[in-house]
Amino acid sequence: MSETKRAYRYRFYPTDEQSTILAQTFGCVRFVYNDGLQTRSLAYAERGEKLSYGDLSARLPHLKQTYPWLADVSSVPLQQALRHLNTAFENFFAGRARYPRFKCKQQKQAATYASNAFTWDGETLTLAKMKTALDIHWHRALPRHVKPSSVTVSKDGANRYFVSFLVAEDIPALPIITSMVGLDLGLTSMVILSTGEAVGNPRFLQQDEKKLARAQRRHAKKRKGSKNKEKARVKVARVHARICDRRRDYQHKLSTRIVHENQVICVESLAVKNMVKNHCLARAISDVGWGEFVRQLAYKSQWSGRTLVKIDQWYPSSKTCYECKQVVDDLPLDVREWTCPACGAWLDRDINASKNILAEGLSVSACGGSVRPVRVKARQATTQ
């Protein structure tokens, strides 16, 4: 058993009163976040000073005096905005993310309410400053016996509202099994398993993409600032939202299945940022959303007592012959099958790679990985 924070997300339909309060709250949250980001950046640039969450939080009352309209909304989401900013900086300093950026009105809007800013009676949710409960569409059950530690409301580009409950839950570990798997990011299929199975066609969104292109063309033709432009923008956002929903749904089903079926899961810690620079691969990579998929595998493995091994992104999984471990110098992307020059084995590019990922993953978790020269050679080959 491990106690885990788990988020449950539902769509809801605000009343006019609620959507007005939410619009105000989103605006104030954005303002406080952006102000905090600017203050922190300036303090560092001008005086080399690193401001903490506490420093910025202490400025809030002063900020409210200067901008009295900040007091119209609940102060809790404003404080949470500064916490989020702090997390964004922590992620930046740990090398996990880019430098925090200013939030703008066109993006997804969100506000987080800690437990002192909402009431939850096990059935209805009422947020601070609101007279009525939210009209939530319960498409699946929320564990009723626990009190959510926070709720986050958001509005996406397609003007849909969501509420996400964060609850602490005991998730029982799955029974231990013996199967292990290596996964490779495929280009003709979404994921290749070391068992030889190819799952998912990354182009399954092709029809939606055509719709998206059409909506984007229409949007481009409308006059700037007109009502029709805004209508066209919402249409584009709706198609986007549909693509994201379908992809997310697909990834969740697949990551759950893989975690259920395997005790050890090995993947490449693929640097998507580097790969997206390569234009031929760019579309395919962002379509399949490898980064999000690996993130799901990671937290689901942790919940279920499985092991996820991420191997070095420079490990030449495609260029190594699984049979004899010979590394070839070059393997162009269009080569789907090849014969090993050293041992004569006939290899399917993707299956060979996923088998290597499994073998490398097991050796990494057992003794710290393969020898250095292999990686150096691979890095040279990749940057050519």
Residue 317 Cβ, how far from Zn ion at the closest point, in Å?
A: 14
As a whole number of Å, the CA-based R_g of the chain is: 24
Length of the chain: 384
Residue 292 Cβ, how far from Zn ion at the closest point, in Å?
A: 34
Which residues are catalytically annotated? Answer: 184, 268, 350
Query: Is the Cβ of residue 53 or residue 338 nearer to Zn ion in the bound state?
Result: 338
Query: Is the Cβ of residue 326 or residue 365 nearer to Zn ion in the bound state?
Result: 326
d(CA 16, CA 3): 38
Residue 277 Cβ, how far from Zn ion at the closest point, in Å?
A: 31
Residue 322 Cβ, how far from Zn ion at the closest point, in Å?
A: 8
Query: Rounded to 5 degrees, what are φ and ψ at 120?
Result: -135, 120
Extract the tokens encoding 319: 């260029």
CA-to-CA separations, 265 to 197, 269, 358, in angstroms, rounded: 15, 12, 8
Quick one: 233 exposed, middle or buried, by C-beta within 10 A (0-12, 13-18, 19+)?
A: middle
Query: Is the Cβ of residue 79 or residue 320 nearer to Zn ion in the bound state?
Result: 320
Query: Is the Cβ of residue 307 or residue 326 nearer to Zn ion in the bound state?
Result: 326
Query: Rounded to 5 degrees, what are φ and ψ at 155?
Result: -135, 125
User: In the chain, where do the E strands start and end?
Assistant: 2-12, 109-114, 118-120, 125-127, 136-137, 150-155, 161-171, 180-185, 191-193, 198-199, 264-268, 307-311, 337-339, 346-348
Encode 75-84: b = buried (16+ Cβ within 10 Å), e = exposed.
Answer: bbbbbbbbeb
Query: Is the Cβ of residue 138 or residue 346 nearer to Zn ion in the bound state?
Result: 346
Residue 270 Cβ, how far from Zn ion at the closest point, in Å?
A: 24
Interface residues with Zn ion (CB under 5 A) are 321, 323-324, 326, 340, 342-343, 345
Q: What is the DSSP letter of 342?
A: T
